[in-house]
Structure 1
Amino acid sequence: MQHVILCAVGSAGDVHPILGLGRALQQRGCRITFLTAGYFKTQAEKAGFEFVDTLPNCDFHSMLNDPLIWHAVRGTRKVMELAVKPMLRTMYEAIEKHYDPRTTKVVASTLAFGARVAQEKLGIPLTTIHLSPALFRSQFEGPRLPKVWVHRGPAWFKRFQWYVADRFVIDPMITPWLNAFRGSLGLTPTQRIFKEWWNSPEQVLAFFPEWFAARQPDWPSQTKLVGFPLYSEEGLTEPSSGLVEFLQSGPKPIAFTPGSANLFGHQFFRVATETCKQLGKRGILLTRFGEQIPHDLPPQVKHFEFAPFRWLLPQVEMLVHHGGVGSMSQAMAAGIPQIIMPMAFDQVDNAYRVEKLGVGGSVARERFEVTRLAAKINALLNNSNTLRQCIQIAERISHENALATACDTILEQKPSNLS
């Protein structure tokens, strides 16, 4: 039996696509071992996966309770400190323990650095998965990132910006502890981590379609674009009866979420609630961390912890969210407009692409207030061109099957020659 070790680092938005991929591989007869934080153990075991907690000494909720995670510039450093560095050794050792060169392949998300080190040391066949275009550098069309301008100017200026970022920000943040671990295994130091190293030299899967972000000439040659994975616990987590009843009790509501890992959405949910009251709209506030929800919700606004988006979003009028690629792609697949309040990471780039496609808009975090949000909602819901484009994009997505394409590519991968 083919054995696939899946490695994921991050929040639900990072883990869900890998979880969905595991279920698709499982349906093809593969045995799955899932390596990620223990917070996701229940979902993995419900899916029938073997599970290894690679963040065993950490309370996930406490880890998320740091506002710097959502800082436009300092967020990446905080994620490295809280999740990537602590998982480096545990993930490497779990792979080493469970790997059988006769039957095993490894698939890893962007920040699963332990898998990348294992590939170099043990010669394992590795597929890297990147969920968004913002993770690909280019001197042609580069990503829109917070507080930098790597998408502007001539090629030499873009290369210079990346060099400065690598030399003075990214490598000093990562290479001390990464190279120390590599050295303990007899591996030589590496550098420019985000330029090439984090990509498997064998195979990289981009989990978005060509029409969303065209492949650039200087992207890694081993990259294949497979489409949006569109998985959010379908088949594992059922919607609550209260949510079903609320959806059936009146007009389509607007759904709001500041991200599955966000513990600092108090202002977001307050503005969402007041906007629904001003517009006379029904609203759904989605978070598993209910302490962020206003205590005095009006009758037309309800809080629910979670619902699979493939099921929920076709039943709502619009999605207002933080700009994670999972939420964004699910809204497009449902054929509804969306408004993004980008904060950090790939969210600025995703918001740009949504606006470019004509399927939504964005409101900057510092401008996210009732009057502005209400005006944006009205403008989108009353724009026939936007609504028509949403339907056209949804139709386009309906003909794609990213998880099937990814399974084909992974299972057809030739044995590694890196050992």
Structure 2
Amino acid sequence: MASGEPGSGPVTHVVLATVGSAGDVVPLVGLGAELRARGHRVSVLTNPYFRGVVERADLELVPTGTVADFERAMRDPDLWHPTRALRAVAREAILPTMRPMYEYIAGLDPASTVLVASGLAFGPRLAQERLGFRLATVHLQPTLFMSAHDNAEMGPVKAPDWLPVGFHAWRLAQLERRFVDPLMAPDLNAFRAELGLAPVTRIFGRWMHSPDRVLGLFPDWFAPPQPDWPRNLALTGFVDHRDDDAPLGPELEEFLAAGEPPVVFTPGSANLHGARFFAAAVGAARRLGRRAVLLTRFREQLPAELPPGVLPVEWANLPRLLPRAAAMVYHGGIGTLAQTLNAGIPHLVVPFAHDQPDNANRLIRLGVGDRLGVRGLTAARLAAKLDRLLTDPAVAARCAEYATRVDYARSARETCDVIEAL
């Protein structure tokens, strides 16, 4: 592959594949933009719901599924449930995209094609195994490494940290054997049989990591490498893509100019089940006398009447908005987390499912935020947590420190250097 400078070396076809929401798609688009600037052909396998962000980056979209598929998944309340979320992701995204991704890749030339794929995109991993394609598996969040040495919170109950490593290893193996593999293995192994491949187990803990290269798109100060993480892992830092560097729009600009920096609230770009979150947000803003921006494209989630100083916005360019905000209250998704770190403002995480509880715990350890569980979410509790974060000078100092450590452009370059070395 080319050796790092735009336009140098032979042009390679890089296929980026992912499933999930904007926080899963945008970092890969950021990598695609950097790879295209280096002269490579870049295709993105993802749901056509994200056609705009892919094509504005001048990348080729290869649609997997339909917009209706994505919208149906967003309406599924299980997607935001602490114990049923993985089942929903498997049913709506991981398993349905496996075959079409594989079939597209099977029509390409392994000698001139490199695959870069989310661990949840099974099709590229199968193509690497069956057809000999080079593959870098990308993990945006540390929870997908399922480490016995780093006791991540997964599901509604976190095992005590003081328990021995051997217990955590046993617990993770049981989690895979009893929960993860039964969700994934029947469909995955049936397709593997069609391809002449033997069945697999420990799908998350072992199989989904490419033997060629594994990339963690987060820094080591956020999640230090562990002894049981893949040996071929490179941590390259948070990656983003500034989609056209879009302006904020006149209404939001006018609101920001009219008063003190607001608190920004969002339960996630794909969350249609945030009515309780927004009710607590409005109540907390009122209690604190704070201005607020409510980010959601689904206005039906908002209270019928909003007080003065509270502005609903369907979408905003976070790199432009967050540096002008007082704090961010959100679900704990890794993409929003990185943007908030970059902006240097406090985090208050209301985790719903997936990697969100673990991400929240890591922010607490960094000293830049706090968390409040969905079950305990009230305006009073939200206001109390926010007030502490907004008035604690130690939190402000830590936020300012970590803002200097996020360098999207450098991380994208370093990640693409690793990809080009495959």
- Which one-letter code corresponds to 2:29 in the other structure? L
Aligned position for 2:301:
292
- Which one-letter code corresponds to 1:275 in the other structure? A
**CA-to-partner distance for each residue in 1:71-106, whole Å, 9 max, x for gaps?**
101110111001111101111111122x22332111
Kindly indicate whether the alpha-carbon contact (under 8 Å) linking 1:136 and 1:143 is maintained by their aligned counterparts in 2.
Answer: no
Aligned position for 1:325:
334
- TM-score, normalised to structure 2, is 0.94
Aligned position for 1:84:
94
Aligned position for 2:319:
310
**CA-to-partner distance for each residue in 1:42-89, whole Å, 9 max, x for gaps?**
221121111111113843222210111111011101110011111011
- Which one-letter code corresponds to 1:202 in the other structure? D
1:398/1:84 CA distance change after superposition, 3 Å? closer
Aligned position for 1:229:
239
Unaligned runs of 5+ in 1: 414-419
Q: Percentage identity across aligned positions?
A: 43
Aligned-partner Cα distance in 1 for 2:173–2:88: 21
Task: Say which SS state the counterpart of residue 19 (structure 2) adopts.
Answer: coil
Aligned-partner Cα distance in 2 for 1:307–1:38: 21
1:389-408 to structure 2, matched below 5 A, reads: 389-398=398-407, 401-408=410-417
Question: Aligned pair count?
Answer: 411
Task: Say which SS state the counterpart of residue 367 (structure 1) adopts.
Answer: coil
**2:186 paired with 1:176:** yes
TM superposition shift of 1:171: 0.9
Aligned-partner Cα distance in 2 for 1:46–1:57: 18
Aligned-partner Cα distance in 2 for 1:364–1:382: 21
Aligned-partner Cα distance in 2 for 1:60–1:398: 31
1:16-415 to structure 2, matched below 5 A, reads: 16-56=26-66, 58-97=68-107, 99-149=108-158, 152=161, 153-231=163-241, 233-235=242-244, 237-398=246-407, 401-413=410-422
* Correspondence for 2:18 among 5, 8, 13: 8
Unaligned runs of 5+ in 2: 1-10
TM superposition shift of 1:142: 2.7
Aligned position for 1:416:
none
TM superposition shift of 1:268: 0.7
Q: What do you get for the CA RMSD once the two structures are aligned?
A: 1.6
Kindly indicate whether the alpha-carbon contact (under 8 Å) linking 1:46 and 1:236 is maintained by their aligned counterparts in 2.
Answer: no
TM superposition shift of 1:324: 0.7
Kindly indicate whether the alpha-carbon contact (under 8 Å) linking 2:142 and 2:223 is maintained by their aligned counterparts in 1.
Answer: yes
Aligned-partner Cα distance in 2 for 1:238–1:177: 44
Aligned-partner Cα distance in 2 for 1:412–1:393: 30
Aligned-partner Cα distance in 2 for 1:235–1:151: 45
1:29/1:263 CA distance change after superposition, 3 Å? same
Kindly indicate whether the alpha-carbon contact (under 8 Å) linking 1:204 and 1:223 is maintained by their aligned counterparts in 2.
Answer: yes
Q: Which shifted more, 347-356 or 307-316?
A: 307-316
- TM-score, normalised to structure 1, is 0.95
Task: Say which SS state the counterpart of residue 375 (structure 2) adopts.
Answer: helix
Kindly indicate whether the alpha-carbon contact (under 8 Å) linking 1:234 and 1:310 is maintained by their aligned counterparts in 2.
Answer: no
Kindly indicate whether the alpha-carbon contact (under 8 Å) linking 1:3 and 1:105 is maintained by their aligned counterparts in 2.
Answer: yes
**CA-to-partner distance for each residue in 1:159-194, whole Å, 9 max, x for gaps?**
211121122111111100000011111111111101
TM superposition shift of 1:261: 1.0
- Which one-letter code corresponds to 2:263 in the other structure? I
Aligned-partner Cα distance in 2 for 1:133–1:151: 18
Aligned-partner Cα distance in 1 for 2:106–2:247: 35
Aligned-partner Cα distance in 2 for 1:398–1:202: 26
